[in-house]
Amino acid sequence: MPDWLPVAASTYAKDIDGLIWLITAIVGVWFVIAEVVLFYLIFRYRRRAGVKPEYVDGSRKKQIAWILVPCAAILACDLVIDAASARVWDEMKLTNPKPHMTVRVDGRQWAWDLTNPGPDRVLDTSDDITLLNELHVPAGEVVRFELRSRDTLHSLWVPELRLKQDAVPGRTFRGWFEATRPGEYGILCAELCGVAHGVMKGTLIVHESSGYENWLRSAQAQAPAAAAPAPATAPATAPATVPATAPAGGSVAR
Amino acid sequence: MNPVAEAPAIRRPAPPAPAAHGGDDAHGGHHEPESFWRRYVFSTDHKMIAKQYLFTGVFMALVGGFLAQLMRVQLASPGAEIPGMGAMHAGQYNTYVTMHGTTMIFWVAMPLLLGAFGNFLIPLMIGAKDMAFPRLNMLSYWTFALSTVVLLGSFFVPGGASPVGWTAYPPLSANPQYSGNVWGVHLWILAVALEMVAFLMGGINYITTAINLRAPGMRMKDLPLILWMQIVASVIFLFSAGPLVAGAVMLLLDRTAGTGFYNPAAGGDPLLFQHLFWFFGHPEVYVLLLPGLGIVAEILPVFSRKPVFGYKMILWSTIATGLLSFVVWAHHQFVSGIDPRLAAPFSLTTILISVPVAVTLFSFIATLWKGSIEFTTAMLFALGMIAVFLIGGVTGILNGSAAADIYIHDTYFVVAHFHYALIPPVFFGFFAGIYYWYPKMFGRMMNETLGKLHFWGTTIFVNVTFLPMFVMGLRGYPRRVYDPTQFSSLGDMTLMQILATVGTAGLLLSQVPLLINFFGSLRWGKVAGPNPWRANTLEWAAPSPPPHGNFAAQPSVYRWPYEYSAPGRAEDWHPQHLPSGAAAEGSRS
């Protein structure tokens, strides 16, 4: 059963998986109890000749307790789940670990423009590297991302990192992740963004840290070609009738 | 018999003499023969309006089911030729996704649960002749009919029907440049707004009727639970629909008048729409859940011959559920970019809603204890509703946890969850209600063999369809993707897609016995008589089907509706309108 979830490839992936299994275990127990009692009563009190039902209306204190005591236990379970959930959420969203570098993710119909800061590790300088649908990061380092959209909503979705965040035009979202396993992972769009939403995909390449430096040097060598801004026209999958260029003013930071 | 002339009931003082009855203006005490148009089309009779909602809702369910099957065929075999339609392209797929969701929520669940059962049952169960405002009731249906025409018409305008999702998030929905669709989205907004107006008129009518037109002697705590649930659902709807209509009008203005409510370049914000939408959208889930639970609450006591367990607990938990439903909406937006500090409070309220819902479900289960359960088709669907809804209920906790939701949001897990949360109240509840009240609506019994075939087919294929989606979602597969082979990194899901598609086909085929049963029984069903189930509520005191005006004489109410197997009584039921000491009519002999 656990292998239903994809491989966990970020620091907080384990925490989210742990939370999912904790909740599944708790609600699973309640689910089994409720179904077993339901089916037992259905079987036990099926109509039989000569057996009369009893007038039980659940208005006595003792009878009310049969319902309210289990529901108090559910309340306790709810609070446990809430606490565990808030702990994981806070770690992901409200802490701000010191980053190794910041990358920029721009969603548009129907591609990701992905910008690495280059060797100086500072965005918006001349050595930035912008690639179409391809992002390179080192493993074992905290990477901050700035997420924007140029047109409609998109959602940055890397299942193996357990990372999902909507991109909203007019806003810049800042988040972080720390990839733990080198490899190639799909970058999907998880928010309906128009006709080619289903093929909007990129690749996240997580390098060993020395591999990342190597990639950076080779990318830098081809800089003139690679650093050219990604074409603003739609990918081949987009129908010609739908213009994919973004209107002005789509990327104002808040 | 005239109950008012009898000796006072034991449990309460003599009911007041029947007062002049409200709602008489549209049809005086005497009825002249009506023309076809007055009787079947522009009827002010709540029962005819209920049937109009019923047939419209069933027709739209077939439309919605057909759209679902188109999607499922594409997902099981991407690019396959569909007979008569050719291969589907991505834009069509998005249209089917949008229109399936829209249709099922607004044009199936609402008319079937509120339009049909609300209209049919509220006056009958409180001993009234009709709704408080019969003409408003007619206007409600015809506004709904107009909205249906607009919605279906949108398939035939240039560019086709809306492809922007049933949630219609801007900027995709606000800007035709992004969706490539002008008229489909315009008409979608118009249709939804009209539909809201129709049910606002209905809701006002339901609440007014249930509070003001009760039979003499009927206290609020003598109301059958389904009426409480219809009232609470209507109140939730009244308070939540305004923001959605406002949001839709602003969207329409953004599209047509150049305003920028949702346009960041003009100082607007796309997230505003999400808040307005879900401020309506989540309470709407309970607008649909409560009437479904209400149907189950009526059927369980009748077929276990026992009082409902914990009437007051169910009532208070219903009201608590309704109140809580207004403060959970942002759980749809955990990854949308709302302030991260909002996640914890919305997680808390969302997960807490499990407590009142559990009170209701546990009370239902406890109702079976020491009962004598008869497995009619209506009872099977009522029990099935509980068993299947539990899956939707417990999986909702995973979505309610903000951190877990980061992973499962917008995946097939969510698709599976909300189908398990909505199909039990909407379809199991509706089917249970149809098998149970059909004799009252049409005067004849439905066939039990066909009914059981329908029940088992539906129950099995619902699970064949939606259980695989939990697995697909946990693997990370996003929803609303028209070609499931695109993300090979998530593993091969062909088998599960095929399974789900077979399930949908089976689910649709399983409705054939219902349609045969429904229409066949109109003609060949056994004549029902006024009270075939030996039930207590007031509708069974009227003839089957009830004439215009419902009751031969104004009934009075002497007790609560769940007096089954009371000690010291020969019959195991005791209708609400019978004075104590009187024998029940229509016993099976």
**B437-473, pLDDT tens digit by residue?**
999 999 999 999 999 999 999 999 999 999 999 999 9
Between these two residues, A236 and B389, which has the higher pLDDT value?
B389
What is the distance between the alpha carbons of residues B554 and B542, in angstroms, rounded to a whole number? 10
**Tens-digit pLDDT profile for residues B199-212:** 999 999 999 999 99
A183 in reach of chain B (CB within 8 A):
no
Cα(A187)–Cα(B488) distance, integer angstroms: 12
Q: What pTM did the predictor assign?
A: 0.91
Whether the CB of B406 is below 8 Å from some CB of chain A: the reply is yes
Q: Which helix (H) or strand (E) holds B82?
A: strand B81-82
- CB-nearest partner of A67 from B341, B363, B394: B363
Q: Check residue B32 and give its pLDDT.
A: 62
Q: Does A208 touch chain B (CB under 8 A)?
A: no
A164 and B406 Cβ atoms separated by less than 8 Å: yes
Please state the three-class secondary structure of chain A as a single string. CHHHCCCCCEHHHHHHHHHHHHHHHHHHHHHHHHHHHHHHHHHHCECCCCCCCCCCCCCCHHHHHHHHHHHHHHHHHHHHHHHHHHHHHHHHHHCCCCCCEEEEEEEECCEEEEEECCCCCCCCCCCCEEEECEEEEECCCEEEEEEEECCCCEEEEEHHHCEEEEECCCCCEEEEEEECCCEEEEEEECCCCCCCHHHCEEEEEEECHHHHHHHHHHHHHCHHHHCCCCCCCCCCCCCCCCCCCCCCCCCCCC
Question: What is the tens place of the pLDDT at every residue in A226-247?
Answer: 444 444 444 444 343 333 333 3
Distances (CA, A) of A26 to A19, A199, B223: 11, 37, 36
> pLDDT at position B585, please?
53
Amino acid (one-letter) located at B157? V
At A204, phi and psi to the nearest 5? -100, 120
The CA distance from B24 to the nearest CA of chain A, in Å, is 37
H or E segment at B81? strand B81-82
A 100-119 → B contacts, CB under 8 A: 109
Residue with tokens 């129709």: B198
Q: Which residue has the higher pLDDT, A225 or B306?
A: B306
Instruction: From residue B33, give the alpha-carbon distance in Å to each of B27, B214, B413.
Output: 12, 28, 55
pLDDT, chain A, mean: 87
B 333-362 residues with CB < 8 A to A: 335-337, 340-341, 343-344, 347-348, 351-352, 354-355, 358-359, 361-362
| CB contacts, 8 Å: B359 with chain A | 67-68, 71
Residue B80 has a pLDDT of 87
Give the pLDDT score at B35.
Answer: 85
Predicted pLDDT at B306: 96
- Residue B582 has a pLDDT of 65
Distance from CA of B91 to the nearest CA of A (A): 5
Nearest-CB residue to B404 (from A20, A159, A193): A20
Once rounded to an integer, what is the mean pLDDT over residues B324-349? 94
Q: Which tokens in the block code for residue B348?
A: 């808390």
Q: Whole-number mean pLDDT of chain B?
A: 92
State whether residue B311 sits within 8 Å of chain A by CB: yes
Q: What is the pLDDT of residue A235?
A: 42
Query: Mutate which of A51, A71, A156 to disrupt the B interface (most B C-beta within 10 Å)?
Result: A71
Contacts of A64 in chain B (CB under 8 A): 310, 313
Cβ–Cβ contact A36 with B under 8 A = no
Residue B327 confidence (pLDDT) above 50:
yes
Question: What average pLDDT score do residues A130-136 get?
Answer: 96
Contact A67, B312 (CB under 8 A): no
Cross-chain residue pair A31–B390, CB shorter than 8 Å: yes
Nearest CA in chain A to B352: A78
Model confidence at B288, in pLDDT bands (50, 70, 90)? very high
469-508 of B, contacting A, C-beta below 8 A: 471, 474-476, 478, 480-483, 486-487, 489-491
Evaluate if residue B10 carries a pLDDT over 70. no
Q: Is the pLDDT of residue A225 over 60?
A: no
Would the CB atoms of A199 and B483 count as touching at under 8 Å? yes
pLDDT, position B474? 95
Contact B346, B330 (CB under 8 A): yes
Distances (CA, A) of B178 to A152, A172, B101, B579: 7, 20, 21, 67
Chain A residues close to B383, C-beta within 8 Å: 38, 42
Q: What is the pLDDT of residue B7?
A: 40
Q: What is the pLDDT of residues B148-168, one digit of tens each?
A: 999 999 999 999 999 999 999
Q: Is B127 helix (H, G, I), strand (E, B) or coil?
A: coil
Looking at residue A224, what is its pLDDT?
A: 54
Return the pLDDT at A199.
92
- Min mean pLDDT across A220-229, B117-126, B157-166, B275-284 is at A220-229
Chain-chain contact of A94 with B340 (C-beta, under 8 angstroms): yes
Give CA–CA dist B321/B315, Å, rounded.
Answer: 10
| Cβ proximity of A147 and A191 under 8 Å | no
Question: Residue B8 pLDDT more than 80?
Answer: no
Q: At residue A116, does pLDDT exceed 60?
A: yes
Examine the pLDDT at A72 and tell me if it is beyond 90: yes
Which of A56, A162, A199 shows the shortest C-beta gap to B486?
A199
- Measured between beta carbons, the chain A residues lying within 8 angstroms of B424 are none
The amino acid occupying position B30 is: H
| pLDDT reading at B379 higher than 80 | yes
How far apart are alpha carbons B513 and A21 in whole angstroms?
Answer: 41
Q: Which residues of A touch B373 (CB under 8 A)?
A: 42, 45-47
* Model confidence at B572: pLDDT above 70: yes
- For residue B410, is it left (φ>0), alpha (ψ between -120 and 50) or beta? left
Q: Is the pLDDT of residue B570 over 60?
A: yes
As a whole number, mean pLDDT of residues A109-124 equals 93
At residue A247, the pLDDT reads 37
pLDDT at A161: 96
* Cβ B143 vs Cβ B194: under 8 Å: yes
Q: CB B397: neighbour CB atoms within 10 A?
A: 26
Distances (CA, A) of B368 to A46, A50, B382, B470: 9, 17, 12, 30
CA gap A129, A145 in Å, rounded: 14
pLDDT tens string B397-446: 999 999 999 999 999 999 999 999 999 999 999 999 999 999 999 999 99
Question: Are B337 and A186 an interchain contact pair (Cβ–Cβ within 8 Å)?
Answer: no
- Cis amide linkage into residue A110, ω under 30° from 0: yes
Tokens of B185: 């989205």
Residues A144-160, mean pLDDT to the nearest whole number: 96
Measured distance CA(B262)–CA(B266) in Å, rounded: 8
What integer pLDDT is reported at residue B13 of this predicted model? 47
What is the average pLDDT across A21-26?
96
Query: Is B446 exposed, middle or buried, given 0-12, 13-18 or 19+ CB atoms closer than 10 A?
Result: buried
pLDDT tens digits for B49-88? 999 999 999 999 999 999 999 999 999 999 888 888 889 9
Q: What is the pLDDT of residues B511-544, one digit of tens each?
A: 999 999 999 999 999 999 999 999 999 999 999 9
Q: Which residue has the tokens 């998030």?
A: B169
